[in-house]
Amino acid sequence: MTHSVPTEVMAETERTLAATPGIQGEPTDAERSRTLIASARTAALATIGDGGFPFGSLVSHAVDASGRPLLLLSDLAEHTRNLAADPRASLMAVQDGDGDPLALARVTVVGEVGELRGDEREAALAVYRATHPGAFYAGFADFRLYRLEVASVRYVGGFGRMSWVDAAGYTDAEPDPLRPHAARIVDHMNDDHADSLVLFARVFGGREQAVEARMVDCDRYGFAMFSRDTPDGEQTAVRLPFRTRVDTPEGARTAMVNLVREARQ
């Protein structure tokens, strides 16, 4: 499936292309939510303050194996006092990127926050320290570890791309294992295999006249490109699926090699 991309929104499209609804071989919004909140290191915590007014604050977080946010909070913080009175809260993480901030993906996790103690705390603290190795304050007496129990999730993939994800779907989903490697895969394909990308656009993307193609994103299910039919022509967005799910950089390399062989046949 292809989409024409006006020049003035090219940067935004690079960030939201993979979230376009209805394209074959795309992650679910539950998977996108898990991936985004796991890759972010800071988020906006909203608690209920004095008089019932929402109170927002910046926090560092980690996530456990079920995607539940882990928060290391000081007893002196306003949000901690708010949570002691009312455990309801939400946590919003935003994709890194430049340009229009409203074109960036973001996820809001809603639920109740509770303190962890004993063995459960120690296990969660190890996860938090692995995410934030510089968190020297983790040993301070006035810092306690909390966990947000997910009740629902709101995912926004950019302009006009949004959905609610239920707690069960969120918990059952997995973060994309290729996300930490995606930038390297994209750069490698663009720098060393530009001819293969043109071949993909022609054979699999329906762009039979393509003379140029550039990869802009990659995940476990497939990848996204911009292609041109002439050197100075309009760029068209193309999303192509892998034939099987890919969970490692080595698997991505194998999948690309297999696609090249298939395209040449």
For the chain, the domains span: 29-172, 178-264
Task: Give the pLDDT confidence score for residue 100 in this predicted structure.
Answer: 83
Q: In sequence order, what are the beta bridge partners of 170?
A: none
Reported CATH class of domain 29-172: mainly beta
**CATH classification code of 178-264:** 3.20.180.10
Task: Give the pLDDT confidence score for residue 103 in this predicted structure.
Answer: 84
**Which of residues 36 and 162 earns the better pLDDT score?**
36
Task: Give the pLDDT confidence score for residue 92 in this predicted structure.
Answer: 98
Are 228 and 210 a contacting pair, CB within 8 Å?
Answer: yes
Residue type, 86: D
Residue type, 244: T
- List Cα–Cα distances, 129 to 37, 118, 123, 204, in angstroms: 16, 16, 10, 44
∠ Cα 214 155 146 (to 5°) = 120
Which among 2-6, 47-51, 96-100 has the top mean pLDDT?
Answer: 47-51
151: helix, strand or coil: strand
**% residues pLDDT > 90 (the chain):** 82
Task: Give the pLDDT confidence score for residue 5 in this predicted structure.
Answer: 43
The answer to whether domain 29-172 and domain 178-264 are alike in fold is no
Task: Give the pLDDT confidence score for residue 11 in this predicted structure.
Answer: 55
Give pLDDT tens digits for 214-242. Answer: 999 999 999 999 999 999 899 999 999 99
